[in-house]
């Protein structure tokens, strides 16, 4: 029991450490950040946050980002809901191929589409607007939302649709009154994934707008005069907050959304050397996070040549997937 607590405690510390470091950085002065390694701020300062909330270029960046993210989430859901219903309930020519083709959009790197989008939006005068980004992100978010929603919709028995028709419901009325409440959790999960993708996406935003979004503004902290670490950390903390809020609201449904991955390859959680039940996803997460720490330790203790650190990471990954 105690061993289990220790292991879980270490696991938690591993998760929290980067966030803790980010928060303390945001409360320090640049002099202290560059000077010495301190666990707690020696000269506590809120100057970095004050800068963000007082300078229009900073707080407008957040508002700008929020507006295209919300716009994108709404557009994605409005398109994906009827599309997912069609994929779930009707058979039509090429439906399976179309369904897979949608997902293949999601697999393409955004860089592939950046230039065509730029060219197109410049031509039709959409460049440098929230619509430009919101629509561009739809290319990635609509397929994802359709895939998630289709899974949830197919979990609702077809007989409910038929009963509603027999009861006299028209299709739109049935959809809004009966069906959407039934898949509310699916809508929540889709909204979460759309939100997160759009919120952290950098390349398309920078290409399609004139550096108005927060992710673009944050890069301005790096200048010829050096990096403003404190300000960057403060902006980072504020960037985490919307995501954390969304997770809080849909936390009960997210597990179900992730479980959809397990539909392709069903698995059971198993209890390994850590004494906690883990799934494939957990093990991947532990591997990635652990690898980051291995590399950091190598940098600090050995030197900048990370070749052997990478080899060590591979051994670590193998061990985690075998034993944990």
- State the DSSP H helix or E strand holding residue 227, giving kind and residue range, or none if neither: strand 226-227
Binding segment for another protein among 73-81, 104-112, 156-164, 274-282 (CB under 8 A)?
156-164
Nearest 5°: CA angle at 222, between 301 and 304? 20
Say whether residue 160 binds another protein (CB under 8 A).
yes
Question: 104-123: which residues touch another protein (CB under 8 A)?
Answer: none
Rounded to a whole number of angstroms, the minimum distance from the CB of residue 182 to another protein is 6
Q: Quick one: which of 125, 157, 266, 300 contacts another protein (CB under 8 A)?
A: 157
To another protein, the closest distance from the beta carbon of 7 in angstroms equals 38
Q: For 245-258, give the DSSP string.
A: HHHHHHHHHHHHHH
Other beta carbons within 10 angstroms of residue 101's beta carbon come to 11
Q: Is 252 in the site for another protein (CB under 8 A)?
A: no
The beta strand positions in 37-162, using DSSP E, are none
Contact 172, 237 (CB under 8 A): no
Q: Does 304 bind another protein (CB under 8 A)?
A: no
Nearest Cα to 241, choosing from 110, 65, 77?
A: 65
Residue 222: phi, psi to the nearest 5?
A: -95, 115
* CB-CB contact of 168 with 108 (8 Å): no
* Of positions 162, 219, 249, 311, contacts another protein by CB under 8 A: 162
- Segment 164 to 203, residues that bind another protein, using CB under 8 A: 164-170, 173, 178, 181-182
Q: Does 163 bind another protein (CB under 8 A)?
A: yes
Residue 270 β-bridge partners:
278
Residue 170 or 210: which CB sits closer to another protein?
Answer: 170
Smallest distance from the beta carbon of 183 to another protein, in angstroms?
10
Enumerate binding residues for another protein (CB under 8 A): 157, 159-160, 162-170, 173, 178, 181-182
């Amino acid at each position: 029991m105690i061993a289990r607590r220790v292991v879980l405690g270490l696991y938690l510390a591993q998760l929290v450490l980067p966030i803790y470091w980010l928060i303390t950085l945001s409360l320090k002065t640049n002099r202290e950040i560059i000077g010495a390694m301190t666990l707690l701020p020696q000269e506590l300062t809120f100057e970095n946050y004050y800068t963000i909330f007082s300078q229009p270029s900073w707080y407008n960046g957040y508002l700008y980002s929020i507006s295209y993210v919300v716009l994108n989430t709404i557009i994605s859901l409005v398109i994906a809901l009827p599309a997912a219903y069609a994929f779930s309930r009707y058979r039509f020519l090429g439906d399976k191929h179309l369904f897979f083709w949608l997902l293949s959009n999601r697999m393409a790197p955004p860089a592939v589409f950046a230039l065509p989008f730029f060219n197109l939006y410049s031509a039709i005068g959409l460049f440098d607007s929230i619509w430009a980004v919101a629509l561009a992100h739809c290319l990635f978010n609509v397929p994802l939302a359709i895939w998630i929603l289709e899974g949830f919709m197919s979990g609702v028995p077809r007989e409910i649709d038929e009963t509603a028709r027999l009861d006299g419901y028209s299709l739109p009325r049935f959809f809004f009154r009966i069906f959407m409440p039934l898949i509310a959790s699916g809508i929540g999960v889709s909204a979460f994934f759309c939100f997160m993708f759009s919120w952290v996406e950098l390349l398309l935003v920078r290409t399609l707008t004139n550096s108005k979004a927060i992710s673009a503004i944050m890069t301005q902290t790096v200048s010829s005069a050096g990096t403003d670490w404190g300000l960057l950390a403060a902006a980072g903390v504020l960037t985490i907050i919307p995501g954390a809020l969304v997770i809080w609201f849909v936390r009960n449904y997210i597990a179900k959304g992730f479980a959809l991955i397990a539909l392709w390859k069903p698995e059971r959680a198993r209890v390994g050397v850590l004494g906690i039940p883990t799934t494939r996803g957990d093990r991947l997460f532990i591997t990635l996070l652990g690898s980051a720490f291995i590399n950091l330790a190598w940098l600090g203790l050995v030197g900048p040549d990370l070749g052997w650190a990478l080899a060590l990471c591979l051994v670590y990954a193998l061990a985690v997937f075998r034993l944990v």
